[in-house]
Structure 1
Amino acid sequence: MQTPLIDDLISALKVLPGVGAKSAQRMAYHLLERDRKGALRLAETLNEAMEKVGHCRQCRTFSENEICPICASAKRVQDEICVVESPADIAVIEQSGIFRGTYFVLMGRLSPIDGIGPEDIGLPILELRLQQGGCSELIIATNPSVEGEATAHYLQQIAKNYDVKVSRLAQGIPLGGELEYLDSGTLTQAFLSRREV
């Protein structure tokens, strides 16, 4: 029998993806038995991140500032926008070093079954950005799932309304694969082989 505080700690750890009851219990016991300093640092950092990390006003990625460092950089190609599903996708693309443009993060994908529509993934913000001009190419890098493809099609329709060239990442990304798990070589090939849609 565990105390209520230990039960609460285990329950709190179960919110992490892939962490079940046994893993959460192991983590809780490890922190309590062997790494209380680390646990306190984790708690403080989590609290600070939850309070201070928001979304970039321009691309919607996680940022501590109103505009993220990528959007604010004069070294980025401002007229190329790569649309991704999550901030994790940006991290993978940035590690490859192949893309020098800017991003737009959907924070999901269209899924009518789950009640996720265009407003829920920020498409009105992206459309306003395209309407204001300054975008010559919209690179769609949604995951090749059913929802990702539906989202890509919707994005294509929006871009065509503003005469923006649309391309889609090609070779190297398997159907049903996720950007977050690709190696940089595969991702580089996908960028180099992108095609206009």
Structure 2
Amino acid sequence: MTPGYDQLVRLFKSLPGLGFRSAERIVLHLLVEKPEKLNQFIEQLHDSAGLIGPCGSCGNLAEGDHCSICLDENRDTDSICVIERVPDLFAVERSSAYRGLYHVLQGKLSPLRGIGPEQLNLSSLDKRLKEGSVKEVILALGNDLESEATCHYIQEEIVGEQNIKVSRIGFGLPSGGGVTFADEMTLKNALESRRALDFS
């Protein structure tokens, strides 16, 4: 093997969800089996990196200032579904059980890993809620201690005394499980069976 080949395999292996064998298959596919795809792959990656960024409102992927969901006039603006990451948003959308707006936190509170409120997309959520049109915040986070702490923080510090209902999905999600890998029916049931939160 050449040093260049080894470096490419290591780079692909560093991506989420790819082990050594998967990374090796991708590198061999691009270098040996379908080399004509290599330049197309590089150009598309470069072009997309320049076009795609976070939505200025919710944090979803956008080609411009705002994402297609925030710009969709047919969405229900009374509710905001708070999720951890963009793949969670995609999973909820696939379930077709929710037609409101979203807010992507880009993580969850984790003092042990040095992730506090300042590292999350919380200030823009606070700003959106203070605009006054939202009636319900749906917390669609995973079923673990860090998610519980994040939900508690949002209800106490972000929603606070505002006259906004706060609910939490959870039905059907396994302990320690997240939203991204739940199937559509489980997410549909989780959203439809959400419960109001009460930390008092």
Q: Normalization by structure 2: what TM-score?
A: 0.92
Q: Deviations over 1:53-75 (max 9, x none)?
A: 11001001111110101001110
Distance in 1 (alpha carbons) for counterparts of 2:28 and 2:50? 27
Q: Name the amino acid aligned to 1:16.
A: L
Name the structure 2 match of 1:64: 63
Which residue type is aligned with residue 44 of structure 1? E
AA in 1 matched with 2:121 = G
Which sections of structure 1, spanning at least 5 residues, go unmatched?
Answer: none
Give the letter for the 1:105 counterpart. V
Alignment of 1:24-173 (within 5 A): 24-157=23-156, 158-173=158-173
Q: Report the Cα distance in structure 1 between the residues aligned to 2:137 and 2:126, rounded to whole angstroms.
A: 11
Partners of 2:122 and 2:152 in 1: CA distance: 13
Q: How far off its partner does 1:78 sit?
A: 0.7
Moved over 4 A (4+): none
Residues 1:196 and 2:187 aligned together: no
Instruction: Report the number of matched residues.
Output: 196
Quick one: distance in 2 between partners of 1:79 and 1:178? 25
Amino acid of the residue matched to residue 174 of structure 1?
P
Does the CA contact (< 8 Å) of 2:143 and 2:170 recur in 1?
A: no
- Give distance in 2, aligned partners of 1:55 and 1:38: 28
Contact 2:167 2:194 in 1 (8 A): yes
Match of 2:181 in 1: 181
The one-letter amino acid of 1:186's match is: T
Tell me by how many angstroms 1:48 deviates: 1.6
Give deviations 1:77-98, integer Å, cap 9, x for gaps: 1120000001111111111111
Over the matched positions of the two proteins, sequence identity in percent amounts to: 40
The alignment's TM-score, normalised by the length of structure 1, stands at 0.94
Structure 2 counterpart SS, 1:32: helix
Please, what is the CA RMSD of the aligned residues? Answer: 1.4
CA distance in 2, matches of 1:114, 1:22: 30
| Alignment correspondent of 1:21 | 20
1:187 partner amino acid = L
Secondary structure of the 1:103 match is strand
Alpha-carbon distance, 1:115 to partner: 1.0
Task: Give distance in 1, aligned partners of 2:191 and 2:18.
Answer: 33
